[in-house]
Amino acid sequence: MPHPLEQLRDEALRQIESATDEQALETTRVKYLGRSGSISSWGEKMKALAKEEKPVVGKLLNEVRNAVTAAIESHNAQFHLQKESGALAKIDISLPGTPHEIGSLHPLHQMHERGIQIFRRMGFALAEGPDVETEWYCFDALNTPPDHPARNEQDTFYLSDGRLLRTHTSTVQIRAMESAPPPLRVIASGAAYRRDEVDATHSAQFHQIEGLYVDENVSVADLKGELEFFMRELFGPGTDVQFRPHYFPFTEPSLEVYVRSKALKRGEQWIEVAGCGMVHPAVFEAVIKARDDKAYDPEKWSGYAFGLGMDRLAMILFDIPDIRLFAQNDLRFLRQFA
Ligand code: DAH
């Protein structure tokens, strides 16, 4: 004769087996395992049992409760699975997906990346500085005295607190030297600003890659060789590079860089693309003052620096006729570089 608890268990298991939905299953659970369910109520009934019977029935009660709980759970899981696969079956996985518009890098950005890649291979590390600068970094430390025309309010954007939008990326030369002793080999890529009359080749915001190399015995030959290498990597082997004397306050001697390349549309034309030169001792002196040490002693160290006009380079490389196209956000223009 099975124990009444075993009978209850078998009865519950049969009902669970025949339940057709989650609700029927829940009703069965409450009927047997709920607070006053017929299996649960055996907890009370146990108190009336003889002492030696208690552990036997207690054990049985546990087993019965576990068996019924497990059956309900597994049945519930089955219902759940059926529901999910039913929902999945309604999805037509052969339908085409929703296409996302894939953007692309701006041609100027692509130009910077190309330039940076080449300089990386030549051992230059990337340095940084802010667009909003102090007069010290933009002018004073670069041997550009207060009466220099570059500092004229007509030529530069000043903020009311006396700071300004940097007129060139040469500011980063000073920041890099202030933060690390020589030898130093860095480039900095970013925007610069001037109050230029806007036309096909001038814009109030333009872009540069600045370079600085400080070591013992750096010479003009290093400067020329490395910039020539850069231009040939960029424009191809048929590229000629010319250096013409110029003046910049922060270099001595100073040079302008011109290129022409048979690989390009405007093949025969010399185009000015950069300024460069040997770092002026007065620039090292400014850094000595700022660092308050002799790390950049001009008797020991020399260096070259350059500033490449990235808008100009991109215009040559991609044959773009007007600098204003870079900022107009015309998708017909931008898509050509996707
Ligand atoms: N800062 C100059 C400009 O924007 C370009 C330049 C010239 C940068 C000579 C240099 C340099 O580093 O040595 O016109």
For the entire predicted model, the pTM comes to 0.73
Does ligand 1 come within 6 angstroms of the Cβ of 275?
yes
**Mutation test residue for ligand 1: of 166, 205, 276, the one with most atoms within 8 Å of CB:** 276
pLDDT tens digit string along 278-301?
A: 999 999 999 999 999 999 999 999
Ligand 1 centroid, distance to 245 Cα (angstroms): 13
Question: Residue 241's pLDDT is what?
Answer: 96
Confidence band of 180 (pLDDT split at 50, 70, 90): very high
**Residue of minimum CA distance from atom 14 in ligand 1:** 275
Structure tokens at 300: 């020991």
Q: Does ligand 1 come within 6 angstroms of the Cβ of 16? A: no
Q: What is the pLDDT of residue 267?
A: 67
pLDDT > 70 fraction of the chain, expressed in percent and rounded: 99
Computed over every residue of the chain, the mean pLDDT equals 94
Angle at the Cα of 282 from the Cα atoms of 170 and 278, rounded to 5 degrees: 60
Residue 150 confidence class, pLDDT cut points 50, 70, 90:
confident
305 lines ligand 1 (CB under 6 A): yes
312 and 272 in contact (C-beta within 8 Å)?
yes
Q: Is the CB of 213 under 6 A from ligand 1?
A: no
Spacing, Cα 249 to ligand 1 middle (Å): 9
Q: What is the pLDDT of residues 78-111, one digit of tens each?
A: 999 998 888 888 888 898 988 888 889 999 999 9
For the CA of 307, the closest atom of ligand 1 is: 8
182 to 112, 121, 275, 298, 308: CA distances (angstroms): 26, 20, 22, 11, 23
pLDDT digits (tens, 9 = 90+) for 194-252: 998 999 999 999 999 999 999 999 999 999 999 999 999 999 988 999 999 999 999 99
pLDDT above 80 for 265: no
Question: Tokens 């607070």 belong to which residue?
Answer: 35
Q: What percent of the chain has pLDDT over 90?
A: 80
Going from the Cα of 309 to the center of ligand 1, the distance in angstroms, rounded, reads: 9
CB 221 within 8 Å of CB 134: no
Summarize the chain as % helix, strand, coil (round to 5): 45, 20, 35
Residue 16, classified by CB atoms within 10 Å of its CB into exposed (0-12), middle (13-18) or buried (19+), is: buried
pLDDT digits over 124-149, tens only? Answer: 999 999 999 999 999 999 999 999 88
Pocket test for ligand 1, best of 124, 170, 193 (most atoms within 8 A of CB): 170
Choose one of 133, 250, 272 to mutate for the ligand 1 pocket test, by most ligand atoms within 8 angstroms of C-beta: 250
